[in-house]
Every structure is written in C-alpha cells, then in structure tokens.
Amino acid sequence: MQDVLIIGCGIIGAAAAFELSRYQLRVTILEKENDVADGTTKANSAILHAGYDPLPGSLMARLNVRGVELAKELCQRLDVPYQACGSFVLAFTPEECAALETLKARGVANGVPGLAILTGDEARRMEPNLSDQVMAALFAPTAAICSPWEYCLALAETAVQNGAELHLETMVTGMEKQEDHWLVHTTKGDFAARYIINAAGVSADLVHDMALPHSFTIRPSRGEYYLLDKAEGRRVKRTIFQCPNKDGKGVLVSPTVHGNLIVGPNACPVVGDDTSTTADGLEFVRSTALKSVPSIAFGQSIRNFAGVRAHAVGGDDFILQETDGFVDAAGICSPGLSAAPAIAEYLVELLQKAGMVLEKKQTFVCERRRTRFKELPPEGRAALVQQNPSFGRVICRCETVTEGEILEALHSPIPPRSVDAVKRRINAGMGRCQGGFCGPRVVEILARELGLRPEQIQQDKNGTWLLCGETKGGRADV
C-alpha cells in the first residue's frame, strides 16, 4: 500500500515526488513513457517567467512568483543549468505601450520585483539587435532560463534517492475507489494508494474521468520552434517577448543555457500528443520573430521541434483540486515550468487538508552533482582522465561529451534507456550535427552496457527504432 501515487513524471509529477520525499511517506510515480520529462517538459521554451502575466489573485500568479524564487536555489543545489538573464516585453504601437503599463501593474500586484518600462532607445542600448520599430519594453530582471528536462530529471532522481519508487512504461488503464484507498490498474499490474496525484499533462482529463465525474477538458495546443546554432547564441542576452495575446505569450527569442538561440512558439490546436512540425507554422514563427530581432540568421537552424501544451477549455488558471483523496494538477500550461516547485508545495497542502499526516525525514537528501567534462579546467580534466580513462574518450565532438559521462548517467538513479534519454542527461547529440557523429557510438555504448543488441536501442519513445535486421556480417542494417 502506497501513501501517494503520482501519475505522470513530467516537471509537475517530478516536483510533487521531490516535495513528498521530504516526508515519511511511501511515494510511487507511474510514467507511461520509457523516460521522465518525455512530454511537454522536454519541448518548451525553457523560460522561468518573472510573473507579470497571470491575473492577480490567481493560482498562476501566486505560484509563478513563488516557483521562480524556489527554482533558483533548487537549480543550484541539484546542479541544473540555470541563468538569470531577465526578459523584455516589446511594444511596437501606442496601444501596446499602454499594454506594457497594464502588465507592469499586474506584476507589481503579483509581487514581481524590479519591473521597469524602458524607452525603445533604452531597450536597444541593452539589446542592440532589437528592431528599430520597438517603441518601449517592459524589463523583468527576475526572469531566468534553465534546462527543463534536466530540472525534471534532477527532481525525480532526488525523489528516488529519498525513497520514492519510479515505474516507467506503466500506463494507467483505470482505477476504482476502495473503502480507504484507490486501486489503480495499469499495463504492469495494480497499485494501491491512499492518495492520488494526477499529473498526466495532456491526458489529465482522461485520467480524472477514470476516477471521478467529468469536470474539465484538456485541449492540447502545439507550439513549434527553431533551435539555432551557438553562432547565433549571443544574438540577444535576454528573453525577448512581444505583447501577449489570446494565444499566449507569443513568439519569443531567447538564449539557452547551452549557448544556443531558441525561437518560437506558435499556437495550434491539435488532437493528442501531435508534435509534428509544419511549413506554415515554422514560417509564422520565423516572420514573427524577425519583427523583434530582424538580424536573426535562420540559416543557422540546427533543429526544428514542437511541444504540446495542456490547455484547459474555458479555463485561465491552473486546475489544482482535491476530491476524496484524488488530487488534480491539470491545465498546467505556461507558466507551469516556472511554477512547478510551488505547485508541488500547494499539492502537499491539499493532501494535508485531505487528512494525510506529514512527518519530515531526518535524512532528506537535497544535493546532486554530475560531471561536465568540458567545463573543467585543463588540470581537472587531466586528473579525471588519469583516475578514469573513459573520460578521455570524447563521444560527442560538438558538445565535448565523454564516454565517462555516459557511463555515469547509466549508473544514475534513473538511467537512460534511449539515445535521446542520453542526450537529455548529458547533451550528447545536442550540438551542431545533432548526433550525426556521436549517435552510432551512443547506440554502441548503450547496447554494451545494457546487455542489448544494437537493434534493440531506440531513438526516444517506445517504437522509435533505429536499426532492424542483420547483414551477413552480423551488423544491424539502418
């Protein structure tokens, strides 16, 4: 019997598991994919929003500001790439200049510190590549960027280190209320738990309906992106937004913590988890971004991708509610990444109000470190290679990732099972060639270390096979 069963291990499920692992509780996480952070969490803008956009008094407003405060310390303690870069919201017309005043007043009401409205010239002095058409900008110094998948992984790994159980490739198929607990049916058997947290992202309404009468509908929205090479990584120093509209915060231009430039997203309603990219969608992103920063060299694009966000129909706030020990964390669109640790705190409050007894652990671990070979000084690299020669074999040339780092990931609390899972942990394949050089070598290492054949190694989710069959020489065909 579990105390709490969490359905979904994106950023919200991972944050909830992390927060609950502080207490003397039996916590289990169920994730339908073969890795954590394999949905919305891996395909978003990676922005930690300052908190001026949500309506004052909303859960979004309260939890956004609190979440950004928590994220700074968490990323430091859990060794997650983080950069306090600040953000601009640009105005191109007198009407949009008035909208900046509204956003600033909203931010002040929400408790966002340091907000200031700059003239176009003042903004261009800070960001010389901004358009000459910019009339004003709202500056939010507390906005930041992070590595969202590593943030999620770090929270989940820490939860596991503190006793939480993680079950991958475990899809929930139904559930029923027993006398004093829930019985959850999955593709890998049944689980019993006194409390349930529904953090199933775009499937949160379907999971809710397995337990309780229908009360909300999730309508997925796809956002498409450009990821540009590091040659464009210094085009801007801050995250650049345009004035938000009915479709969200709009197309942004932002540096990433890995030194690239990210541009996007658009907003397109889709059915299910449709992460395809389209010519029309990418053209919209490109042309809209050029309005903010006309000099972006889109010829430096190294990857296009899309992520799906979980919008609740008719709702403009997070759905965080408890009924009979079943807790929904649904409709977590932007600023969900920003608010995640604060959402987790709120979920624990809901569980406590529902009767869950909380007793803090005396041995809670809240530290994590991983080796980043390319960031070490020369003497540090030499010492590491002498200690472990596998760190002297560079597997990914673009990002200078070594075999030692892959082996370290494979012996972590949540080891990778696919090529992209390795990429999310240590950046192998994240560079200019997008795995063209290192991909086969990563497959070789995964197969060797996991005791599998190369044709059993997948690119990412189940079914994304890279190889099939064998030649006469015993090598798998592409």
Q: Which residues are catalytic?
A: 49
Written as six digits, the tokens of 249 are 């915060």
CB 11 within 8 A of CB 337: yes
For residue 261, give the H/E element and its range. strand 261-264
Looking up tokens 């990778």, which residue turns up? 416
Written as six digits, the tokens of 282 are 């990418």
> Distance (Å, rounded) from C-alpha 422 to C-alpha 442?
8
Go through the chain and tell me how many residues it has. Answer: 478
CA 277 to centroid of chain Cα atoms: 19
Residue 306 φ/ψ, nearest 5 degrees = -140, 150
Torsional class of 121: left (φ above 0), alpha (ψ -120 to 50), beta (otherwise): alpha
> 10 Å Cβ neighbour count for 313?
10
Looking up tokens 């198929």, which residue turns up? 173
Looking up tokens 């910019």, which residue turns up? 134
Residue 353 φ/ψ, nearest 5 degrees = -65, -30
